[in-house]
Amino acid sequence: MASTPARTELANVRAWLLDTGPLVAYLDARDPSHRTVASCLDEYSGQLLTTSAVITEAMHFVSACKGGARLLAEFVEASGTAVYDLCAPPELGKAAALMEKYADTPMEFADATLVLLAEGLGVHNVLTLDRRGFSTYRTRRGKALRLVLASAAG
């Protein structure tokens, strides 16, 4: 696949937040989004950032496939994905408040932790398949998140 200017620009971004959907799709060749996500991740040379809630959610989905849990663990280690634990009481309260705020979207706990991570690190590029949710969510300062796959397609 030829690199478009948008794809080339995104491949040079220093850090992306990683959501559950692309993580599972990358590891499962049968997933309808596998090729799109694999192409995007295979070209990316920056830092992947995620949360323990995303890893837990992904582990639930990939463990249904033989060797899926091992593949997930190997991917996280080989890619150098930084995993942040946002389960301490202050973060739980902030995540719960976000989930209430976006209850009509809805927002799951893993999504809330990614928004908190975006706020904490100032990283707003997110690799997600959840276009509806992540195009709606905002940080406390009103900052929108940039959807990597939507930008790469454009």
For residue 79, what is the enclosing H or E element? helix 68-79
For residue 151, the model assigns a pLDDT of: 66
For residue 119, the model assigns a pLDDT of: 95
Can you state the angle between helices 20-27 and 52-62, rounded to 10 degrees? 40
Domains of the chain: 5-153 (3.40.50.1010)
For residue 30, the model assigns a pLDDT of: 92
Structure token digits, residue 78: 């080989």
Task: Confirm whether pTM is higher than 0.85.
Answer: yes
Series of mean pLDDT values for 10-residue runs along the chain (154 residues): 42 82 95 95 94 97 92 96 95 96 95 97 96 95 92 57
For residue 150, the model assigns a pLDDT of: 79
Sign of the Cα pseudo-torsion (109, 68, 83, 115, in order): negative
Can you state the angle between helices 68-79 and 52-62, rounded to 10 degrees? 140
For residue 6, the model assigns a pLDDT of: 47
* DSSP β-ladder status, 146-147 and 15-18: unpaired
C-beta of residue 153 within 8 angstroms of C-beta of residue 42: no
What is the C-alpha separation between 154 and 152, in angstroms, rounded? 5
For residue 65, the model assigns a pLDDT of: 85
C-beta of residue 72 within 8 angstroms of C-beta of residue 59: yes
How many Cα atoms within 13 Å fall on the side-chain side of residue 109?
14
For residue 7, the model assigns a pLDDT of: 45
The one-letter amino acid at 115: V
Radius of gyration of the chain (CA): 15
- Closest alpha carbon to 98 in 109, 83, 89, 88: 109
